Structure 1
């Protein structure tokens, strides 16, 4: 089984009782409530012996659901893919820029846009969060990511008075870890475990099939219109999956680190300008969020001509849909890795 550690954080100073739409100070709670909070770490779920209610510790306090939600709204297009994979009652989702290489005409990720259409998923807005659009869907649970380009945290104070609002990050979790957490808090444990087990079988099959290219590997998103890119770390979903398959992530010099223009992120290292070449230390480069034509773009970058992966032609694009990994895109990634490196294995 794949194992991913839930991260813990400092204890918070209040509890959120969403279905009552009331915030209660810890100083006014009974000792038993205080003890419950101190036993839970961030993203940890506690279930009543009878199944409900269920509570989860978030960065905004303890969120308690008295019963399974029936109308979930996700403000994060990244989290929506995992919710769809476990068949959660998702009625609407935030969307990204429509009609691009990664998104459909509705702004949904192409890897699950057909499923979204089949289930009648409503796009809330494109890119910019809109509280009125969220309210109109009459949700009984709202899900927000605290970081990333699809975060709607600036609306949290407004939305939490409309419906229970779950804040959960994806920058430090795999989709499998998210599926487990969602399964626990939503009462969809069996659905989550079924999807995870199916995927783990595919991971093991891929691991047995492929022959790894020269290691270590720099896994990154390359921006052709700018001299730079984002390097996936072992804290990213992409990095964790690669390591599970046997890849070794190349180290990035400390001199490259420090750019927090996208906020404090654990999953990526931003490399740009003169520091970009120093960041490409792998013997192999895997280009995420990229089709095959992006390989030549990287090879033609004058800053990178001395990089070993460029000189030995070990540069591989792994698909436009790999910027955000959910069950669907991660499955596609495994298929592409098998296509790229499985044939070599078969010829051994």
Structure 2
């Protein structure tokens, strides 16, 4: 084989069989496949604005340069005095992340930050999807649908978009190691379980589905999620949301069919409310005291809240 032939074969091998782990996202510019299509990013972002308070925690976890974020209502069960989620509020303060607005997104406030990348959630109350066209005139926009992804899948996508792939891989590896250590030690309560957020007052609960980040975490640890009745599972009360099913009134008992209940965004006061609720008092999980509160910092699951949830589960189920 001539030298030129060998060189040609090498070049063909590189084109047809790229090195493992290499992709178009290895350098800049790069293309990122998102929920709003393929977005081309010319250079590594230095000023990221998150319009979604849910996604801000994942950006912070991979040390992406997020400079400002939308917020939720301050001083709620799961937020600090800024309206940032309590599991990462102190980190946001340390990194001097500015609060842009509370609730509904504001394009003018986003533009004032002169961002070079804007992060938008596809669903949920913190979605700014209707503003994507307007925001795209300011900077490239990445739309992330978090209602059908684990937090690991979310940080992987954000890592690709921000050039922080290695940080995303590191925290995922650390977390998976923690799960592998904890899983065989857990003495699980009666299975299957219903995992949900109790909204209080006997009005409604949000039942986590297997597609939710919370459901994926529980299944990763060996829990089995109780299936919701078919007629409830097909309910579209939350529009396109795939991570929760809203249950209210008498449907709560029917929908919460698990032998054990795991309540997210819940503490001892929440346990008391549930045990005294007229719709739930006779449920087997309540009567047999198989109801557990997992803390107030997991309304949305990211690296920080998932890690704290592991610690709570360890306290509850490792004896």
Same fold, TM exceeding 0.5?
yes
Distance (whole Å) between structure 2 residues aligned to residue 60 and residue 46 of structure 1: 23
Q: In the alignment, is residue 77 of structure 1 matched against residue 25 of structure 2?
A: no
Distance (whole Å) between structure 2 residues aligned to residue 214 and residue 170 of structure 1: 29
2:148 corresponding residue in structure 1? 172
- Structure 2 unaligned spans of 5+: 1-20
SS of aligned partner of 2:241: coil
Deviates more, 1:265-274 or 1:109-118: 265-274
Q: Is the 8 A contact 2:29 2:42 kept in 1?
A: yes
1:127 corresponding residue in structure 2? 103
Question: CA 1:65–1:282 in structure 2 vs 1: closer, same or farther (change >3 Å)?
Answer: same
* Structure 1 segments (4+ residues) deviating >6 Å: none
Q: Is the 8 A contact 2:274 2:281 kept in 1?
A: no
Q: In the alignment, is residue 236 of structure 1 matched against residue 212 of structure 2?
A: yes
Match of 1:144 among 120, 128, 132: 120
Question: CA 1:47–1:69 in structure 2 vs 1: closer, same or farther (change >3 Å)?
Answer: farther
Distance (whole Å) between structure 1 residues aligned to residue 185 and residue 30 of structure 2: 41
SS of aligned partner of 2:96: coil
> Which structure's CA Rg is the greater one?
2
Deviations 1:111-150 (A, max 9, x none): 1111111111011111121111111110000010010011
1:50 shift after superposition? 6.2
SS of aligned partner of 1:294: helix
Match of 2:251 among 260, 263, 275: 275
- Structure 1 unaligned spans of 5+: 1-44, 344-348
2:231 corresponding residue in structure 1? 255
2:9 corresponding residue in structure 1? none
SS of aligned partner of 1:303: coil
Q: In the alignment, is residue 94 of structure 1 matched against residue 70 of structure 2?
A: yes
1:182 corresponding residue in structure 2? 158
1:324 shift after superposition? 0.3
Matches within 5 A, 1:170-319: 170-319=146-295
Distance (whole Å) between structure 1 residues aligned to residue 162 and residue 23 of structure 2: 10
Deviates more, 1:99-108 or 1:241-250: 99-108
1:57 shift after superposition? 2.5
Distance (whole Å) between structure 2 residues aligned to residue 303 and residue 50 of structure 1: 54
Distance (whole Å) between structure 2 residues aligned to residue 241 and residue 257 of structure 1: 20
CA root-mean-square deviation: 1.6
1:251 shift after superposition? 1.1
